[in-house]
Amino acid sequence: MKIYITAILKAIPAQRAEVLALLHQMVQESRKEAACLQYDLHEVTSDENQFIFYEIWENQAGLDAHNQQPYIQEFGRVAGEQLQEAPQIYLMEKIA
């Protein structure tokens, strides 16, 4: 069963460039994963420090493997210092 995710992140303004560089790296690397069907990064037009990921994963096993990747683990380590708050992550089911 496919896994759909929306993740909302808000960078500390002084850390925006560093966060954005990490997010771009996550996009590049995630799209290489076999279970990754879609991995898009968006910037909120009214707030340049807020970013939204929209992801589709082939299945839970693929998402679990993604979450263990070194670049995801690294982002988790620095996120507390570079984000205004913990990321909001929504796992969804497509219903229509």
Q: Report all structural domains of the chain as residue ranges with CATH numbers, in order of start.
A: 3-92 (3.30.70.100)
In 1-96, at which residue ranges do the beta strands (DSSP E only) sit?
Answer: 3-10, 36-44, 47-57, 88-92
pLDDT tens column, 32-73: 999 999 999 999 999 999 999 999 999 999 999 999 999 999
Question: To the nearest whole number, what is the mean pLDDT of the chain?
Answer: 96
The confidence score (pLDDT) of residue 81 equals 93
The confidence score (pLDDT) of residue 11 equals 98
Average pLDDT, integer, range 61-87: 94
Separation of alpha carbons 60 and 19, rounded Å? 26
Q: How many CA atoms lie within 13 A of 45 on its CB side?
A: 0
Question: Do residues 35 and 65 lie in contact, with contact meaning Cβ atoms separated by under 8 Å?
Answer: yes
The answer for residues whose C-beta is within 8 angstroms of residue 31's C-beta and 6 or more apart is 39
Report the predicted TM-score, pTM, of the whole model to 2 decimal places: 0.92
